[in-house]
Structure 1
């Protein structure tokens, strides 16, 4: 049987979308970037079948320690593995580690590297069914032509890359929450 993996770079506002999507019984594993306390990953791991697996990346060893404790407390340490390494160095090594069939890719890491993460994710054209990218509205700044915010420019570049990919259907969805106006791209 082919292993199926869901790549998760977690974000809070669209967690419900991911939870609904990840309830698909065919998904056998998830992957995440940006662990922090592991709250979203714990919820997502609960949607996995018993033999499912979630792999997540975290840059900060302190966050890894907190995440691993939370994972143990949730009783999911047999399903979730935290890798403490920078994403830009680790993502290219995942195929060699046996993670190569991604059904869902969920990106919410540092915005400056979103174009890189997208290019990496597009390296799996036959496996990816859904790509979710979080925090892409920035209080409407992304549509303002005179913004000096480097993150806004990177989000625009990222959205342009999506537009240029003819085999991808995408849409931006605005959300309103504790962070104000924000959103994500599907």
Structure 2
């Protein structure tokens, strides 16, 4: 749930009951080992503390990769690599993850976490602006990706979706995080560029006849937010 421009203070307004439910589900259902715990906690050392997905959300992303049979995954927004570990484990031995991170400080932490989790050999952490990194892959005509997870700066969501469509083929899954923004997404007149970035990517998805999609609201330790799941026909 990284958001490059999100203020650190009051990032997640989360009711105690929401947190309790998240904690219950995570304790009962999520197999978060020591490497994942350390990766999640190491987010405090990044440029965006507490911006990683919650444990149950990481498990969901990993399950989506497994259910879709993904062997090649592209991630926009690495941060400390918490979701990257989930994805790398989901693709399994022989699978591959490419993840884009703007800041070298964060990339270094992510590499440590990937090594600790035993998946560094199947992950490429690419440092630099994600749009530029994606364009290089497009220019190189790399093998298509099976799943794309978009969790970077929200104003650029339409750019990232367009790149994802260049880098995938029919059957691929695209997941876009942080799309509810405490309900602000419903305000067409919002002056927040993050909200407008989400609305623009929703418009792009809705206008594309080759995409099937839905959006889900979530509440929990990360506040009131949600995600979009897209399937290429």
With structure 2 as the length reference, what TM-score do the two structures score? 0.69
Write the distance in 2 (CA, Å) between the matches of 1:11 and 1:133. 14
Write the distance in 1 (CA, Å) between the matches of 2:202 and 2:182. 16
> Structure 1: any 5+ residue segments left out of the alignment?
1-9
Write the distance in 1 (CA, Å) between the matches of 2:110 and 2:127. 11
Decide which of 38, 45, 50 is 2:88's aligned counterpart.
45
> Structure 2: any 5+ residue segments left out of the alignment?
1-50
Root mean square deviation of aligned Cα: 2.2
Change (3 A) 1:118 1:11: farther
Q: CA deviation at 1:123?
A: 2.1
Change (3 A) 1:145 1:23: closer
1:144 maps to 2:178: no
Q: CA deviation at 1:124?
A: 4.4
* Count of aligned pairs: 177
Residue of structure 2 in register with 1:117 after alignment: 160
Decide which of 101, 120, 128 is 1:85's aligned counterpart.
128
Q: CA deviation at 1:108?
A: 1.0
The 5 A counterparts of 1:20-169 are: 20-24=63-67, 26-97=69-140, 99-124=142-167, 126-169=169-212
* Greater per-residue helix proportion: 2
Q: After TM superposition, which residue ranges in structure 1, 4 or more long, deviate above 6 angstroms?
A: none
Change (3 A) 1:125 1:73: closer
